[in-house]
């Protein structure tokens, strides 16, 4: 092993030859170096703040979507339930022929459906009720049947001159149109808000 000349003995660096060979029992020439050790990989928990923000945004979005979907389902169920109640009222009338009860049920169902168009519809009378009926495009015979239903409601004889079959058909046509209009308005509001 050759050493550079003119250097102190502690600072002599081997130039060639096997570097692992140490002089007999003496300290190694130069500083003692250890292998480089990499730090441990970072833990997956707790995540970085950006992941927390993303999780919070996704959670809020999921809650809003669930709320909106549930609200939409309730409205659809309400529409279907109104038409089912109309079918049930018609069936009960066919079974027992009770005109005053049929009048009351048809009137109540119309008021409930009309409340979707205007919350004040539950108490509308006379010209206000006619204006509310006209908010949905219906033919003249349907309108006439609906007005006759309204007048028969308040007759002392319980609507004895009231014709049930045409009135039920008129109420069904009007309510179907009202429910379609409400669904279209809701869809329009949803499109505008998106």
- Comparison of pLDDT for 21 and 179, the residue scoring more: 179
Express each pLDDT in 114-124 by its tens digit. 888 888 888 88
Enter the pTM of the model. Answer: 0.62
Predicted confidence at residue 193, as pLDDT, reads 66
Mean pLDDT of the chain: 84
Express each pLDDT in 59-114 by its tens digit. 999 999 999 999 989 988 988 899 999 999 999 999 998 988 999 999 999 999 88
- Comparison of pLDDT for 6 and 179, the residue scoring more: 179
Please, are residues 136 and 177 in contact by the beta-carbon 8 Å criterion? yes
Task: Round to whole Å and give the CA distance between 85 and 95.
Answer: 15
Q: Could you tell me the two tokens for 119?
A: 């919350």
Predicted confidence at residue 66, as pLDDT, reads 97
Radius of gyration of the chain (CA): 43
Predicted confidence at residue 23, as pLDDT, reads 56
Domains and CATH numbers, the chain: 75-193 (1.20.120)
| pLDDT category of residue 145 using cuts at 50, 70 and 90 | very high
- Comparison of pLDDT for 171 and 14, the residue scoring more: 171
Express each pLDDT in 3-53 by its tens digit. 555 555 555 555 555 555 555 666 778 888 888 989 888 888 899 999 999
Which H or E run contains 191? Answer: helix 164-193
Tally the residues of the chain: 194
Predicted confidence at residue 87, as pLDDT, reads 95
Q: Identify the weakest region by mean pLDDT among 95-99, 114-118, 177-181, 187-191.
A: 187-191
Give the number of C-alpha atoms closer than 13 A to the C-alpha of residue 92, restricted to the C-beta side. Answer: 15
**Other CB atoms within 10 Å distance of the CB of residue 105:** 19
Express each pLDDT in 151-168 by its tens digit. 888 887 766 677 899 999
| pLDDT category of residue 125 using cuts at 50, 70 and 90 | confident
End-to-end CA distance of the chain: 82
């Amino acid at each position: 092993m050759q050493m550079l000349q003119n250097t102190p003995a502690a600072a002599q660096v081997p130039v060639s030859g096997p570097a692992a060979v140490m002089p007999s029992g003496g300290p190694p020439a130069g500083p003692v170096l250890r292998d480089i050790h990499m730090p441990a990989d970072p833990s997956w928990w707790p995540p970085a703040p950006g992941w927390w923000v993303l999780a919070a945004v996704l959670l809020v979005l999921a809650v809003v979507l669930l709320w909106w979907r549930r609200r939409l389902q309730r409205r659809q169920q309400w529409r279907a339930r109104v038409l089912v109640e109309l079918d049930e009222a018609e069936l009960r009338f066919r079974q027992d022929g009770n005109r005053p009860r049929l009048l009351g049920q048809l009137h109540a169902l119309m008021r409930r459906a009309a409340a979707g168009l205007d919350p004040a519809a539950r108490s509308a009378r006379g010209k206000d009720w006619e204006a509310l009926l006209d908010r949905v495009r219906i033919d003249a015979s349907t309108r006439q049947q609906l007005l006759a239903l309204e007048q028969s409601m308040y007759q002392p004889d319980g609507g004895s001159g009231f014709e049930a079959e045409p009135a039920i058909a008129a109420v069904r046509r009007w309510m179907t149109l009202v429910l379609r209009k409400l669904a279209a308005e809701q869809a329009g509001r949803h499109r505008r808000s998106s």
